[in-house]
Amino acid sequence: MAHAHHHHDDQAAYYLEQLCTIALCGALGGVCVLLWLHTYVWPPPEGQFSMLSLMLDPRFHTAVLFGGLGLLALVAVRAVGVWVESGRAVAHTHDHDHDHAHGHDHGHDHTHCDHDHGAEGHEHTHAHDQVHEGEAHDHGHEHGWNPLRYAVLLLPVALYFLNVPSKGLSFSEIHQTLEAGKSVAVKERDNVLDLDFKELKSAASSSSMREYFEGRTGRLKGQYVPSGQEKVFSLIRLKMRCCGADAVPADVVILAPQPVSGLKSMDWVEVQGVIQFNKRANRNEFVPVLQMDKISPTAPEPELYMQ
Amino acid sequence: MEKYVENFILIFTSIIYEALPFIVLGSVTAGMLEELVPQRFVTRIIPRSRALAIAIGGLLGLVFPMCECGIIPVMRRLLRKGVPLSTCVCYMLAGPIINVIVMMSTWVAFSAPPDFNKDQSLTVPGGQLGSAEMVSLRVGLGYLVAVGTSLIVEWLYKRHGNNLLLPLAQPTAGNESDDNGGPRRRLSNITETALHDFVDITVFLILGAFLAALSRQFLSHSDIVDLSMKNPAVTILLMMGLAILLCLCSEADAFVAASFTGLPAAPKLAFLVLGPMMDFKLYLMYTRIFRPRLIWTIILSVVVQVFVYSLLTHFVLQTWFTPAADGGAG
């Protein structure tokens, strides 16, 4: 019977779509929860960073967890709904095939409604794809099997299981063009300050702070990035406000007395040197600079990004 | 090459996971709106005056705070419930800016640390504003742009009607029934609508994130500052371009704008007002609701207005609010 065949094709597409939606949304929800668990419950070994902390600022971590749990809850309820619907549809299709042996057309697509189809001359006015029990309004859905949508949706799930991203943003080289600074008199060489990027960046924009720091000796820990010049490189910390899309390097320029060798870009190092501030060429901005005395490899900071 | 691929994947996935929880929230809200709010209730509470409806639409974010990703599925369901297109567009554009969460995050982002002794010699003309001024300007410009665009949309709607909308977003012709088969059936319907909307919108979020991550490989944060060359019009345009490129959530974008310490306030405002209204992912999400004619009208209106208002703001700030420089930078 042509009519019944048409019904079964649409029904198959509808259930295929529903099953794919449930599977993909469930997978995405599961990945969100796993991302959180691998950050807070099963954190990575020291010196490594969880995927979630590479991607997002901690303020968003709880939102990812709740987003994932919400998605899983939606999927669970929907799975039960589809299970019940499919059971009804199977029972109904048997009756339906029998009742429609006379060959009249109901003009609707799905067979999982349970109102009476037996009466001859009965007219349906549904303009939608799917009719629920007792309902006469449509939900504004497009049902139909569209594999491309699911292929796109699968992408973040696949990337998670391929364990990417596994590293923070990285840079091959950072070029800085600085104006020549005035010579700096060294102060209190034995008193070595423990510096951080935030403090130095903040000091660079304040004349009194620049005056305080200039000539003092400080120690700074960060990631090594070459500049293309032998005796100049940058020490950076990644700064992220929101997500990886806005992550930028906060950098301090290091002037080395000799070319530095044996380091790869993004290696963690500690540099000790005399602090100065040079004006960035063509910008109304000072850059902190260290005239390097010592450099040594070091362990990564516990947090990849600074706030 | 390997570094580029790694950086690309990091940016791509970070945009997705940042937006995803908000799309889940928006989809659940959309499902509840579809199932629980009767159309006749919606039509009863909308003011008859379209101008008043638009004006109220721009403030709806204060009652229903949503970011720009979550607001898309909600707006589509509101359209189907009979809320006028121009009111929905006003809510869609202003809602991600005029809501308490976003206003608070803007306030926090532009609050300078108490011990931060800013060097006056580094002050940019028309530059650093306090958090109260930034919040007020962001909200004010956002509202102006949203209302202006909605009035244009209303004019367009009078000429083209529902042809501006895709079938899924067109108002249902009052074919609702009060009998929805009990709570179990209602719950099933809510989850079906929510998951349908989630899939529909997330697919376009992923494509938008892909485009944004790709373009970030060619243009960076510091390139924008280098390219601005102190010309306010160019700086504003570049910051608008960056807003489209980065696809940031409106709840966090103020922190990114605040980090551009070398830029005047107006380009930052352009970034903060345009970002929640227009970016790669939003453009692709709009294609699930509007026809191209309406999408391009909205984009053109928003981009032109943001640029003009930001430029005017810059000149006003430069003329009346630039503090006297105290000593040279060198």
| Binned average pLDDT, 10 residues per bin, chain A of 307 residues | 50 89 97 97 91 92 96 96 84 53 41 39 39 46 74 96 91 82 74 90 87 92 92 92 83 93 92 92 84 93 86
Q: What is the pLDDT of residue A190?
A: 77
Query: Do A21 and A147 contact (CB within 8 A), yes or no?
Result: no
Q: Which two tokens stand for residue A301?
A: 């900071």
Check the CA dihedral A61-A66-A71-A73 and report its sign: positive
| ipTM field | 0.81
For strands A217-226 and A248-255, give the pairing. Answer: unpaired
Please tell me which residue, B117 or B273, carries the higher pLDDT value.
Answer: B273
3-class secondary structure, A297: strand
Given pLDDT bands bounded at 50, 70 and 90, which one contains residue B180?
low
Interface test with B, best of A246, A280, A283, A307 (most B CBs within 10 A): A246
Residue B75 identity (one-letter amino acid):
M
Answer yes or no: do B327 and A207 touch at CB < 8 A: yes
Q: What is the pLDDT of residue A92?
A: 62
Nearest to A120 by CA among A103, A108, A97: A103
Peptide bond before A147: cis, by omega within 30 degrees of 0?
no
Answer yes or no: do A134 and B206 touch at CB < 8 A: no
Given pLDDT bands bounded at 50, 70 and 90, which one contains residue B172?
confident
Contacts of A152 in chain B (CB under 8 A): 203, 206-207
Answer yes or no: do B24 and A71 touch at CB < 8 A: yes
Q: What is the pLDDT of residue A297?
A: 94
Answer yes or no: do A140 and B193 touch at CB < 8 A: yes
> Could you say which of B15, B176, B191 has the minimum Cβ distance to residue A78?
B191
Given pLDDT bands bounded at 50, 70 and 90, which one contains residue B319?
confident
Answer yes or no: do A21 and B199 touch at CB < 8 A: yes
- Cα dist from A104 to A4, A28, A114, A129, whole Å: 11, 43, 18, 18
Any chain B CB within 8 A of the CB of A248? yes
Candidate from A209-223, B107-121, B214-228, B312-326 with smallest mean pLDDT? B107-121
Query: Do A28 and A153 contact (CB within 8 A), yes or no?
Result: yes
Averaged over B139-148, what is the pLDDT?
97
> Could you say which of B18, B119, B203 has the minimum Cβ distance to residue A152?
B203
Q: Which two tokens stand for residue B2?
A: 């390997």
Q: Which two tokens stand for residue A230?
A: 């032998």
Please tell me which residue, A68 or B248, carries the higher pLDDT value.
Answer: A68
- The number of domains in chain B is 1
Interface test with A, best of B11, B15, B20 (most A CBs within 10 A): B20
Q: Which DSSP symbol is given to A280?
A: B
Residue B146 identity (one-letter amino acid):
A
Q: Which DSSP symbol is given to B161?
A: G
Percent of chain B with pLDDT over 70: 85
Any chain B CB within 8 A of the CB of A60? yes
Q: Determine the Cα–Cα distance for residues A293 and A255; give it in Å rounded to an integer.
A: 9
Question: Number of H helices and number of E strands within chain B?
Answer: 14, 0
Instruction: Give me the half-sphere count of Cα atoms (radius 13 Å) on the Cβ side of residue A256.
Output: 18
The angle at the Cα of B241, spanning B235 to B242, to the nearest 5 degrees, equals 90
Q: Determine the Cα–Cα distance for residues B251 and B106; give it in Å rounded to an integer.
A: 8
Cα distance from A4 to chain B (closest Cα, Å)? 25
Q: What is the pLDDT of residue A117?
A: 40
Nearest-CA residue of chain B relative to A167? B6
Averaged over B48-63, what is the pLDDT?
91
Q: What is the pLDDT of residue A234?
A: 94
Q: Determine the Cα–Cα distance for residues B98 and A104; give it in Å rounded to an integer.
A: 55
> Could you say which of B6, B118, B249 has the minimum Cβ distance to residue A205?
B118
Range of the domain at B288: 2-324
Q: Determine the Cα–Cα distance for residues B280 and B267; give it in Å rounded to an integer.
A: 19
Contacts of A75 in chain B (CB under 8 A): 195
Nearest-CA residue of chain A relative to B193? A139
Find the largest Cα–Cα distance for chain B: 76
Interface subset of A 17-46, CB within 8 angstroms of B? 21-22, 24-25, 28, 32, 35
Q: Which residue has the tokens 């108002």?
A: B171
- The alpha-carbon radius of gyration of chain A (Å, integer) is 32
Q: Tens of pLDDT along A103-118?
A: 444 434 443 433 434 3
**B329 located within any domain:** no
Given pLDDT bands bounded at 50, 70 and 90, which one contains residue B181?
low
Q: Determine the Cα–Cα distance for residues A274 and A295; give it in Å rounded to an integer.
A: 13
Averaged over B185-200, what is the pLDDT?
90
Q: Determine the Cα–Cα distance for residues A277 and A296; give it in Å rounded to an integer.
A: 23
Residue A234 identity (one-letter amino acid):
S
Residue B184 has pLDDT above 80, yes or no: yes
Interface test with A, best of B14, B123, B215, B242 (most A CBs within 10 A): B14
**B330 located within any domain:** no
Answer yes or no: do A286 and B199 touch at CB < 8 A: no
Averaged over B208-220, what is the pLDDT?
80
Answer yes or no: do B207 and A152 touch at CB < 8 A: yes
Query: Do A53 and A7 contact (CB within 8 A), yes or no?
Result: no
Contacts of B10 in chain A (CB under 8 A): 54-55, 165, 167-169, 244
Interface test with A, best of B37, B195, B197 (most A CBs within 10 A): B195
Q: Determine the Cα–Cα distance for residues B252 and B256; give it in Å rounded to an integer.
A: 7
Average pLDDT score, chain B: 84
- Cα dist from A118 to A93, A129, B105, whole Å: 12, 20, 61
